[in-house]
Chains A and B, each alone.
Chain A
């Protein structure tokens, strides 16, 4: 069974630039999550989708972050403009349903200079 795919693995940008991350969840998984993991901290939920609808985006900084999940499968997370404090690993995860266990991708490590 293929796992959660994420790209790119690494991204280095300057502050005020924009960046986008892509995620392809496990086939058949209805729920998709984006987490932000800052060094030394646990993953923090940014947004949760159920199919292509948003279930929770209460911790998404909506002035600069946006996410979409078209057709209830792939998802993209965008940051525009990036700030230094956005440097983190961005993890995508999927699950069959909530609160089932989550399957994580390898993440995208973002460095904002």
Chain B
């Protein structure tokens, strides 16, 4: 049972354009959402998070949007840079268990 889904395994975007990564979840108990970025041979690093009481959180070039009714969140990167090329994981936390559930990841490639 995949509670957090990232349906696009890969995304290719030109440098300077917007990258939009999507994530869907099924568990209505999730109340805290995070995005992690992973380079090859490294562990995931925290990028940005959002609480269920908000619908948007912005940090520099990164913005996360949350649509609770649709159980959907997205990560926008503007402008995209070649250094953003990595695998991005969406994760969600259940306030009952505090367990962090990860999606399968989306590989972003930003080309010049």
Binding site for B on A (CB under 8 A): 4, 33, 35, 40-45, 48, 55-56, 91, 93, 98-99, 101-107
Contacts and interface: CB of A to CB of B under 8 A. Distances in A.
B102 A42 contact: yes
B42 A99 contact: no
B25 interface: no
B104 A42 contact: yes
B43 A41 contact: no
24 contacts: A4-B43, A40-B104, A42-B91, A42-B102, A42-B103, A42-B104, A42-B105, A43-B44, A43-B89, A43-B102, A45-B100, A91-B43, A93-B43, A98-B98, A99-B32, A99-B98, A101-B34, A101-B46, A102-B100, A103-B46, A104-B43, A104-B44, A106-B41, A106-B43
Nearest to B2: A42
Contacts of B103: 42
Nearest to A59: B99
